[in-house]
Chain A
Amino acid sequence: MKIHEYQGKQILGSYDIPIQDGVVVENKENIGSAIDEVATKFKCSEFIVKAQIHAGGRGKGGGVKYCSDKATAVDAANKILGMNLITPQTGESGQKVRKIYITKAFDIAHEYYVAITLDRSKSQDVIMVSTEGGMDIEKVAEETPDKIIKVWVDPLAGLQNDQVKALSDGLGFDGDLFDQASDVFQKLYKCYIEKDTSLLEINPLVKTKDDNIVALDSKFNFDGNAMFRHPDINEMEDPFETDETELEAGKFNLNYIKLDGNVGCMVNGAGLAMATMDIIKLSGGDPANFLDVGGAASVDTVKNGFKIILKDPNVKAILINIFGGIVRCDRVAKGVVQAVKELNLDIPVVVRLEGTNAIEAKDILKNSEVKIIPATTMQDAADKVVTAALN
């Protein structure tokens, strides 16, 4: 689960981590008063206007603007709020900007990069810092990996003082700046652990010209499985950042991701669902979605699955691929027939059921009055559904 920059900064602020704070605006009519509020509250006359969308690379897409006075800030805010922002991380369709964050501008002496995430290969959290903050940190990692300093934290022992020292030394801090940076690293790690974060990235963390360390941006990604421990964070979720159909599928406990093709698919299990999409593509078709109905494919899940898939007007044919393990295929077959009848489906449905009672299931499908195309192997199913989508 992801949140916006301004929400992340609220969390950082609650850990006494110095942040570049500001005011959030959702309506254009409030822009002027918000800028005045930032000017008074943070004693400044220069501003940054920042689009609040989850995807990164906002600056490259024109979603972040430095403004030397109120008039330019008003102008920039009016342009950014409501725009469709396309960044290297949004995909081609972009993301509509529904909120902007107007903050104080700092005189920056240097930009650093800080991130904490899980290193799956080591099964430990890793803290990474670099003197090369700002843009293109991935290029830095690729071309000059020694410029990224990493420490791995023992989950039982926690972050050690010598590790914090290695991070602050690595960025070349001494004296008061060393203390400030060390304090920030300790608090960031504490925040990362306590909030069940899977990614905490500050890019950039800056040294101001008057020698203060400040978090200029914040990116948080939380572990969805742990959100039962954090109802407050759960409430921060922005429904506009998730596709409407994906949200609805979630309510049915279905895992759905919309794609651009025209072959709908309904599969049990995420791995088999991906493999089904892959074989559709290899067979000359184009999958319209990923849909994992979970282990037990009951009449209701199949029916809800159809409803979700059919919200996409591009879908020309549907492939149901269920490997019946503990679930018996004959039951799934009955469910499919019932769902097709009740929903009055008029597009071709190819059904492949394998596993327990697969032969009985085939008879049920064959003898039903509804128009279902039975298939045997995955290749057979893919070929049939691709042909059906073409006609």
Chain B
Amino acid sequence: MSILINSDTKVVVQGITGTEGTFHSGQMIEYGTNIVAGVTPGKGGTTVLDNIPVYNSVEEARENHGANASIIFVPPRFAAAAVIESIEAGIELIVCISEGIPVRDMVRVKKLLNDSNSRLIGPNCPGIITVDECKLGIMPGFICKKGNIGVISKSGTLTYEAIDQLVKNGLGQTTALGIGGDPIIGTDMISALELFENDSDTDGIVMIGEIGGQMENEAALWAKENVTKPIVGFIAGQTAPPGRRMGHAGAIISGGDETAEAKNRILAECGITVAKSVAEIGNKMKESLTLNV
């Protein structure tokens, strides 16, 4: 088992004829992802790569090929509309790679998502990979090894670093999930933790966060009550400058627990093993697994 995607996942790529879309579709196919169709409005009826049919809408792609997942490579100003199109077409899993989507657009998308049966991953994320089965994203698949660790991360290249360390410590992964670091994202850390907790093949979880927001803290508090598997947490940004800030509204909302120091403290209080240094992620996970046996 694994979470969210596997070898049965049928994928439609939105923005498949763009430079990024075509390139990464090729990479995903090479990894073994079953891409059944692409969508670019106005280019319906053509084909790309190795005879992949292009449609004008996600709806058509779903009807003709039974696509149950989509991945989005469209420019940020059109990306929210692309997500909404997938929601309306009833796609179960939507991965949005696009970076730089206006927050206002995402506030609306999030509301529509909550009222639908679709799940969104991202935006501004590297996507998701179930090792040796399906890659719905832009991460280098070859760095992964099949195993029993689930990876959740806000950051792209930091996810690769964590995976690499796990492999060097002899630990493989079930699924690695880049949730994105934007203020509003589709799948948050709690939701990702829940998926891994319920996955019988996952024995340990790496959770990588950053300064800013409350998500890591909320996830830690939730995990304390609901997760039985060992979690290793890392928060990037201990040395980030406090910055010249403006106004007070942010601090009133967050209550000031957005620093790496505060998050590390809350994670530790909730029973999560905190890696103070990025270099410790791999061996801390290994230690935690041994202790848990």
Contact = CB atoms under 8 A, between A and B. Distances in A.
Contact of B153 (A226, A268, A271, A276): A271
Contacts of A154: 111
A281 B239 CA distance: 7
B249 interface: yes
Contacts of B103: 118, 196, 198, 223, 225-226
Contacts of B105: 226
A66 to B, nearest CB: 22
Interface residues of A, number: 73
Interface in A215-272: 219, 221, 223, 225-226, 228-229, 257, 259, 267-272
Interface in B145-177: 153-161, 164
Given A203-B248, A278-B238, A378-B278, A120 B184 contact: yes
A196 B102 contact: yes
Interface stretch (A20-28, A124-132, A178-186, A307-315): A124-132
Interface stretch (B50-58, B64-72, B88-96, B212-220): B212-220
Contacts of B250: 117, 199
A162 interface: no
Given A120-B214, A148-B252, A355-B140, A290 B246 contact: no
Nearest to B140: A325
A155 B277 CA distance: 40
Interface in A107-127: 113, 115-121, 123-126
B40 interface: no
B215 A120 contact: yes
- Looking at chain A's contact residues, the main secondary structure is mixed
A269 B240 contact: no
A355 B164 contact: yes
Contacts of A7: none
Contacts of A354: 160-161, 164
B248 A56 contact: yes
A117 B236 contact: no
A344 to B, nearest CB: 29
B208 interface: yes
Nearest to A259: B241
Interface residues of B, number: 66
Contacts of A359: none
B27 interface: yes
Interface string B241-285: 110111111111101000010000000000000001111000000
B38 interface: no
A46 interface: no
Chain A CB within 10 A, most for which of B76, B107, B184: B107
A225 B142 CA distance: 33
Contacts of A198: 103
B77 to A, nearest CB: 6
Contact of A271 (B106, B157, B183, B253): B157
Contact of B244 (A55, A125, A287, A379): A55
Given A120-B213, A201-B249, 14 more contacts: A91-B244, A115-B247, A124-B107, A137-B252, A141-B251, A141-B252, A196-B102, A201-B246, A225-B101, A271-B158, A276-B278, A278-B236, A295-B156, A378-B279
**Shortest beta-carbon contacts, A-B, top 4:** A271-B155, A269-B157, A226-B102, A271-B158
23 contacts: A91-B241, A91-B242, A118-B103, A120-B183, A124-B107, A198-B103, A199-B249, A203-B247, A203-B248, A223-B102, A225-B100, A225-B101, A268-B157, A271-B158, A271-B159, A271-B181, A271-B208, A274-B210, A279-B277, A295-B138, A323-B160, A323-B161, A325-B139
Interface of A: 2, 54-56, 89-91, 95, 113, 115-121, 123-126, 128, 137-138, 141-142, 148, 154-156, 193, 196, 198-199, 201, 203, 219, 221, 223, 225-226, 228-229, 257, 259, 267-272, 274-282, 287, 290, 295, 323-326, 354-356, 377-379, 382
